[in-house]
C-alpha cells in the first residue's frame, strides 16, 4: 500500500491553515475516502459534509488542488502523482469549520423564487421532448460548486444582487416547464441580476451533473429578458397595447 | 409540531401539518435536500395504470403482501396501495417532472415483485426529484426548517412526548423544541452494517429515540440486503446500483456465464423479490462462481449505449467515474448491500401514532408496512402516503392536546449526556467501536444467520454497550465535531443492532429478508406473527404478536396465496 500526503485546511471563521496528513492509498480511492481515513485515524474532529458518497446529494463540495470538486467523485489516481493533495473549503462562502462552509445564502435565494404554479384546468399531459430540457435542469444536486466558482459571487461578492447559476437553472426549469403559468422574467432582470453574468461558462465547467448551465439555461433566459426589455419592436407594441405597466 | 428528519417522509408530513395551519418545525442533521431519499433511484410504485391498464390497487396490495411474506400490517398495505396514485399525481402538481409515455402521461417501469409496470420514475434519479419537489413546496408553505441540528433525546411530560432536545452542529450549543406532537421520520439504520448503501445519517436515530421514549419496535429482524451494490473499488463498496438496471432488462450472470436466476426463481428471474436475488448472488459467490471482486456480473449493455445513458444516466456515470467500467459496453460487478430496515416503530396504520401519546412515526423508521421484505419502489410511495397520514394524525392530535410542560430534570439529564462525552478519563475511540460493531453485524447477523452466530453477536453487543458508555471526544471542541456526533450515534446503532439480533434469534424460520441456515424453511406459527421489542426497565424484551389483519381484505390475501401455490 502506498502513502500519499494530504494537506487539509483546518480552522474556523477566525482563521486556519493547511495541516499535513499521511494517507494509506487503496485502489480506486476518492478524496472523500482519504478524508474519512484521516477522521478515523488522525483527526477525529475534522469537519466535513458528506451524505450519499455517490455524487447524488452534493454535500461534499470542496476545492481539491485548487479546483472545485465533489470529494466523493474525485479519484486520487486522477490527481498528479508525487505531490501533496490539497483540500480547501469552498472559497465563496463563509467558513464554519475545516471543510464546512456556510451555504445559507443559497437557501435564502431559493425562497425568493416563486414556485411552480400550474395553468388553470391543465390536463397534466406533457410530451417527453417538451420536458427533456426541464429534466436536465432538475438533475441539479445543489452542490453549489457553480455558485462557488462564479466570478460575480467569488470576486465581486454580489450576493445581495445576484441569484447565481444554480438559481438561474432553477428559474429556467420553471420558466420552461410546459404547464407553468407564472412570469419570472422581471425577477431575472431585477432581483436575480441575470445581467451581471458575462457568460464565461465557469459554472458549466464545474457542474458534476454536466448540466449545460450557460448554453441551455442562462443564455435562453438572457434572450427572454432582452426580448422583453430591449427589443424596440416589442417596446412599441407594449406601448400601444399598454402592457408595459406591470413591470 | 416538530418533525425530526427531512427526507421524503418528514417533508411530506411537514407539508401536511403546515397546510393544516400548525406551526411546523422541520429538524434535520444535514442540509435540507441532502437526505438519503436522494439515493432512491428506480421509482415510486403506484397503480396509476398508465402503461398496463389492468393494474389497480388490489394487485398492488397483493404484490406488497406477497413480497412481505404476509407479515405486513394489512391495513397499511391497503392505504398504501389505494393512496399512492394520488400522492404521485400530487407531486406532479407540485412541479415534479416524471418521464412520459407516448400519450404524455407519467411513464411507469417494471420492477422486482410488481406484477405490472408500476414505477413512476425520472431516469434513475427519482428520489432527487421527489425531495426537491417537496422541498420547494415546503419552503413556500411556511415550514420552519432547522438544518444541521441533531436531536439526541425526546422529552416527556408524564406519558406524553412533548419536546426534543438536541444541538446545533455548527456551534455545539443545545436547543430545546417544545411541541404538542412530534413526528419521527429519520430513515434507516444501515450504518450498523459494514457494507451498506446508507449515508452516515442512517444510524437508526428515530428507531432509538422512539424506543427510549417508550414506543415499541416491530419486525426488527428484517433488514433488507439490496442485491446489487457496487463491490469495487473498496471505497464505494456497498454503493447502490439501482434495481432499475434489472427493470430495464439487466441480466445477472456468474463467472461461468450462467444466468443463475434460472435456478433460483425461473418465473421472475432477475425481477424476483430482493431477498431472493440477494441470497442467490450470495450463494453463487460462496460456491465459487463469483466475479473477481466477490460479486456477480450484471449486464445491461445489450440495450445499447444510447438507451442506457438515457434511462440510467447516473449508473452510467457512477461506474464510469468510480470504477472505470463502461456499462454500455460490458457488465458491472455487483453484490448485496445493507439497504433498508423493514423494521421500525410500531404505529397505527391510519395516523402513524406510536403508543406514546403525541409521538408519531413515518417512513423507514416506522414498521409494519413492508413485512418481511420490501418491494422496490414501495419505499418512496410509503414516504408519501404515510408521511401525509402521520402529518394529519399529528396535526389532529396537536389541536386537541393541552399545553405540555418540560421537566427540568429531563433537560439537564439530556445535557449531561452530551457534555459527558467530553469528560471521559480514558475515552474509548468511537470510530474504532463503530468499525467493530459494523463487522460484528455484517458477519454474524448478515444475509444468512444461525443460532451460534446470533448468540455470539448478543454477547458482543453487550460488550459494545459497556464500551459505548466510555466513548468520548478524543479531540476538538463542540463546534461541528463529527467525533462527538458519532459518540451519540453509536448509542442509537447499538439499540437497533440489539433489537435486530434478538429478534433474529427468536424467529426460528426463514422468511423474506431473514434467512436462518439452521431453520431454512417457513414455519406456520411464525407466518402469522411479528416480533415486538420494547424496553422493560432497561432490558430489551422481545415478544411475538399476531399479524394485524383485516377481515375485509381476507379474500384478496387468500386469492393471492392460492395463485402462488399453482
- The alpha helices in B338-377, defined as continuous H runs, are none
B253 to chain A, any CB pair closer than 8 A? The answer is no
**Please, which residues bridge with residue A43 across strands?**
none
Of the partner residues A51, A97, A134, the one whose CB lies closest to the CB of residue B479: A97
Name every chain B residue with its beta carbon within 8 A of the beta carbon of A128: 99-100, 107
Q: Give per-residue pLDDT as tens, B371-392.
A: 999 999 999 999 999 999 999 9
The A residues from 48 to 107 touching B (CB cutoff 8 Å) are 48-59, 73, 75, 96-98, 100, 102-103, 107
Q: Does A201 touch chain B (CB under 8 A)?
A: no
Does a cis peptide bond (omega within 30 degrees of 0) precede residue A223? no
Contact state of B104 with A127 under an 8 Å Cβ cutoff: yes
What pLDDT does residue A243 have?
66
Do A78 and A111 lie in one domain? The reply is no
Last residue of a domain, which of A86, A101, A116? A101
DSSP string, B267-280: TTGGGS-HHHHHHH
- B119-120 and B44-45: which strand pairing? antiparallel
- The topology under which CATH files domain B227-338 is Flavocytochrome C3; Chain A, domain 1 (3.90.700)
State whether A115 and B95 contact (CB < 8 Å): yes
State the Cα angle at A94 between B479 and A164, rounded to 5°: 135
- Note the pLDDT tens digit of each residue in B232-281: 998 899 999 999 999 999 999 999 999 999 999 999 999 999 999 999 99
Catalytic residue among B12, B80, B207, B246: B246
Q: For residue B330, give the 3-state DSSP assignment.
A: coil
Final residue before a domain boundary, out of A101, A129, A157 = A101
Point out the residue among B94, B234, B236 whose CB comes nearest to the CB of A53: B236
* Cα angle for residues B445, B447, B452 (degrees, 5° grid): 40
The domain ranges of chain B are: 227-338, 412-525
Q: How confident is the model at residue B362 (pLDDT cuts 50, 70, 90)?
A: very high
Contacts of residue B435, Cβ cutoff 8 Å, sequence gap at least 6? A40, B194
| Pair (A47, A109) in one structural domain | no
Show the domain range for A53: 2-101
Closest to B100 (Cβ–Cβ): which among A39, A45, A131?
A131
In this complex, which of A33, A128, A174 lies closest to B100 when CB atoms are compared?
A128
Tell me the three cell numbers of residue A154: 467569488
The answer on A219 and A158 residing in a single domain is yes
Q: What is the pLDDT of residues B8-24, one digit of tens each?
A: 999 999 999 999 999 99
CB pairs under 8 A between A and B: 168
SS (H, E, C) B239-257: CECCCHHHHCCCEEECCCC
Query: In which element (H, E) is residue B346 found?
Result: strand B344-346
Question: Are A194 and A122 in a shared domain?
Answer: yes
In chain A, how many domains are there?
2
Mean pLDDT by 10 residues, chain A (247 residues): 94 97 94 96 96 93 97 94 95 97 97 96 96 97 98 95 97 97 97 96 96 98 94 84 60
Whether A233 and chain B come into contact, CB under 8 Å, resolves to: no
- Do B39 and A57 make contact, defined as CB atoms within 8 angstroms? yes
- Based on the fold, state whether residues A232 and A143 are members of the same structural domain: yes
Chain A residues in contact with B35 (beta carbon < 8 A): 51
Domain boundary pick from A101, A134, A166: A101
> Domain of A38: which CATH number?
3.10.20.30
Q: Which residues of A touch B136 (CB under 8 A)?
A: 110, 115-116
B349: its cell numbers: 396504520
Q: Does A12 touch chain B (CB under 8 A)?
A: yes
Those of residues 344-403 in B touching chain A at CB distance below 8 A are none
Say what the pLDDT of residue B335 is.
95
| Burial class (CB within 10 angstroms; exposed 0-12, middle 13-18, buried 19+) of A84 | middle
Residues A70 and A123 in one domain: no
Same domain, A19 and A133: no
Give the whole-angstrom CA distance, residue B273 versus residue B264. 11
Q: Give the N- to C-terminal CA distance of chain B in Å, as an integer.
A: 50
Domain with A170 in it: what CATH number?
1.10.1060.10
- Is B293 near chain A, with CB under 8 Å? no
B226 flagged as catalytic: yes
Q: Which of A29, A45, A79, A166 to mutate to test the interface with B (most CBs of B within 10 A)?
A: A45
Q: What is the pTM of this model?
A: 0.96
The sheet carrying B344-346 orders its strands as B366-367, B344-346, B217-218, B529-536, B539-546
A138 lies in the same domain as A240: yes
User: Do the Cβ atoms of B482 and A115 come within 8 Å?
Assistant: no
Q: Provide the percentage of residues in chain B whose pLDDT is more than 90.
A: 96
| Contact present, B112 and B119 (Cβ < 8 Å) | no
Chain A residue with the nearest C-alpha to that of B136: A115
Residue B91 CB contacts under 8 Å (≥ 6 apart), including other chains: B44, B130, B133, B134, B384
Same-domain pairing of A242 and A125: yes
74-93 in chain B: CB under 8 A from chain A = 89, 92-93
Q: DSSP code of B519?
A: S
Instruction: Identify the pLDDT of residue A244.
Output: 56
- Measured distance CA(B354)–CA(B368) in Å, rounded: 12
B31 touches A: beta carbon within 8 Å: yes
Catalytic: which of B226, B370, B502, B560?
B226
User: What pLDDT is stored for residue A177 in this prediction?
Assistant: 97
**pLDDT by residue (tens digit) across B167-221?**
999 999 999 999 999 999 999 999 999 999 999 999 999 999 999 999 999 999 9
B514 is catalytic: no
Q: Is A97 close to B480, i.e. CB distance below 8 A?
A: yes
Grid cell 399525481 in the structure block, residue: B89
Query: Among partner residues B105, B128, B483, which is closest to A56 by beta-carbon distance?
Result: B128
Q: For chain B, give the mean pLDDT.
A: 96
Fold held by B412-525: Methane Monooxygenase Hydroxylase; Chain G, domain 1 (1.20.58)
Are A179 and A208 contained in the same domain?
A: yes
Task: Tell me, yes or no, whether A127 and A232 share the same domain.
Answer: yes
DSSP per-residue letters across B57-94: HHHHHHHHHHHTTT-S-HHHHHHHHHHHHHHHHHHHHT
Residue B452 has pLDDT above 80, yes or no: yes
Q: Which residues of A touch B32 (CB under 8 A)?
A: 107
Amino acid at each position: 500500500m502506498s502513502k500519499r500526503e494530504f494537506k487539509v485546511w483546518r480552522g474556523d471563521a477566525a482563521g486556519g491553515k493547511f495541516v499535513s496528513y499521511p494517507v494509506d492509498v487503496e485502489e480506486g480511492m476518492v478524496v472523500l475516502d482519504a478524508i474519512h481515513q484521516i477522521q478515523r485515524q488522525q483527526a477525529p474532529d475534522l469537519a466535513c459534509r458528506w451524505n450519499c458518497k455517490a455524487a447524488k446529494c452534493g454535500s461534499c463540495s470542496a476545492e481539491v488542488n485548487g479546483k472545485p470538486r465533489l470529494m466523493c467523485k474525485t479519484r486520487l489516481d486522477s490527481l498528479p502523482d508525487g505531490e501533496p493533495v490539497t483540500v480547501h473549503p469552498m472559497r465563496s462562502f463563509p467558513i464554519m469549520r475545516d471543510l464546512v462552509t456556510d451555504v445559507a445564502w443559497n437557501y435564502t435565494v431559493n425562497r425568493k423564487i416563486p414556485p411552480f404554479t400550474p395553468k388553470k384546468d391543465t390536463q397534466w399531459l406533457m410530451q417527453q421532448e417538451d420536458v427533456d430540457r426541464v429534466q436536465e435542469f432538475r438533475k441539479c444536486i445543489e452542490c453549489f460548486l457553480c455558485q462557488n466558482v462564479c466570478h460575480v459571487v467569488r470576486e465581486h461578492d454580489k450576493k445581495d444582487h445576484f441569484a447565481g447559476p444554480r438559481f438561474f437553472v432553477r428559474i429556467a426549469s420553471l420558466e420552461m416547464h410546459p404547464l407553468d403559468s407564472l412570469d419570472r422574467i422581471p425577477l431575472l432582470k431585477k432581483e436575480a441580476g441575470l445581467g451581471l453574468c458575462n457568460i464565461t461558462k465557469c459554472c458549466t465547467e464545474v457542474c458534476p451533473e454536466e448540466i449545460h448551465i450557460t448554453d441551455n439555461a442562462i443564455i435562453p433566459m438572457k434572450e427572454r429578458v432582452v426580448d422583453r426589455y430591449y427589443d424596440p419592436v416589442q417596446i412599441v407594441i407594449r406601448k400601444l397595447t399598454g402592457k408595459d405597466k406591470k413591470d | 409540531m416538530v418533525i425530526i428528519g427531512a427526507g421524503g417522509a418528514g417533508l411530506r408530513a411537514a407539508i401536511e401539518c403546515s397546510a393544516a395551519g400548525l406551526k411546523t418545525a422541520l429538524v434535520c442533521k444535514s442540509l435540507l435536500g441532502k437526505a438519503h431519499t436522494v439515493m432512491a433511484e428506480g421509482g415510486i410504485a403506484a397503480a396509476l395504470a398508465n402503461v398496463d391498464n389492468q393494474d389497480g390497487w388490489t394487485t398492488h396490495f397483493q404484490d406488497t403482501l406477497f413480497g412481505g411474506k404476509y407479515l405486513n400490517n394489512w391495513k397499511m398495505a391497503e392505504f398504501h396501495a389505494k393512496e399512492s396514485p394520488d400522492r404521485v399525481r400530487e407531486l406532479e402538481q407540485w412541479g415534479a417532472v416524471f418521464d412520459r409515455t407516448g400519450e404524455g402521461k407519467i411513464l411507469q417501469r417494471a420492477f422486482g415483485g410488481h406484477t405490472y409496470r408500476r414505477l413512476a420514475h425520472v431516469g434513475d434519479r427519482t428520489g432527487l426529484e421527489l425531495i426537491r419537489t417537496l422541498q420547494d413546496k415546503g419552503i413556500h408553505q411556511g415550514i420552519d426548517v432547522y438544518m444541521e441540528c441533531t436531536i439526541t433525546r425526546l422529552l416527556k411530560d408524564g406519558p406524553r412526548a412533548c419536546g426534543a432536545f438536541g444541538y446545533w452542529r455548527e456551534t455545539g450549543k443545545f436547543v430545546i423544541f417544545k411541541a404538542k406532537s412530534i413526528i419521527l421520520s429519520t430513515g434507516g439504520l444501515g450504518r450498523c452494517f459494514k457494507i451498506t448503501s446508507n449515508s452516515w445519517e442512517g444510524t437508526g436515530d428515530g428507531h432509538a429515540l422512539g424506543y427510549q421514549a417508550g414506543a415499541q419496535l416491530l419486525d426488527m429482524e428484517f433488514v433488507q440486503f439490496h442485491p446489487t451494490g457496487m463491490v469495487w473499488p473498496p471505497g464505494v463498496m456497498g454503493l447502490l446500483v439501482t434495481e432499475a438496471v434489472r427493470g430495464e432488462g439487466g441480466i445477472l450472470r456468474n463467472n461461468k456465464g450462467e444466468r443463475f436466476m434460472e435456478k433460483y426463481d425461473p418465473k421472475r428471474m432477475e425481477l424476483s423479490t430482493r431477498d431472493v436475488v440477494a441470497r442467490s448472488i450470495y450463494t453463487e459467490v460462496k460456491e465459487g462462481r463469483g466475479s473477481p471482486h466477490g460479486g456477480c456480473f450484471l449486464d445491461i449493455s445489450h440495450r445499447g449505449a444510447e438507451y442506457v445513458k438515457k434511462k440510467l444516466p447516473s449508473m452510467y456515470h457512477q461506474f464510469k467515474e468510480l470504477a472505470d467500467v463502461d456499462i454500455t459496453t460490458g457488465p458491472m460487478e455487483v453484490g448485496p448491500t445493507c439497504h433498508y430496515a423493514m423494521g421500525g416503530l410500531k404505529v397505527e396504520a391510519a395516523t402513524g401514532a406510536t403508543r406514546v401519546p403525541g409521538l408519531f412515526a413515518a417512513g423507514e423508521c416506522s414498521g409494519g408496512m413492508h413485512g418481511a421484505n420490501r418491494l422496490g419502489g414501495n419505499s418512496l410511495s410509503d414516504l408519501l402516503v404515510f408521511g401525509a397520514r402521520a402529518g394529519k394524525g399529528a396535526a389532529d392530535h396537536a389541536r386537541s392536546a393541552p399545553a405540555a410542560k418540560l421537566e427540568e430534570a429531563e433537560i439537564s439529564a439530556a445535557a449531561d449526556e452530551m457534555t459527558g462525552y467530553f469528560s471521559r478519563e480514558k475515552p474509548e475511540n468511537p470510530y474504532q467501536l463503530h468499525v467493530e460493531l459494523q463487522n460484528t453485524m455484517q458477519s454474524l447477523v448478515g444475509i444468512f444467520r444461525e443460532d451460534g452466530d446470533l448468540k455470539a453477536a448478543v454477547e458482543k453487543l453487550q460488550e459494545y454497550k459497556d464500551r459505548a458508555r466510555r466513548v468520548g471526544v478524543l479531540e476538538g471542541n463542540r463546534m461541528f465535531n463529527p467525533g462527538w456526533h458519532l459518540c451519540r450515534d453509536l448509542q442509537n446503532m447499538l439499540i437497533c443492532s440489539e433489537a435486530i439480533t434478538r429478534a433474529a434469534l427468536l424467529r426460528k424460520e426463514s422468511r423474506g429478508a431473514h434467512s436462518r441456515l439452521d431453520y431454512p424453511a417457513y414455519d406456520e406459527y411464525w407466518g402469522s406473527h411479528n416480533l415486538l421489542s420494547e424496553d422493560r426497565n432497561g432490558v430489551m424484551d422481545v415478544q411475538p404478536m399476531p399479524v394485524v389483519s383485516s377481515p375485509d381484505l381476507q379474500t384478496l390475501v387468500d386469492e393471492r396465496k392460492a395463485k402462488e401455490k399453482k
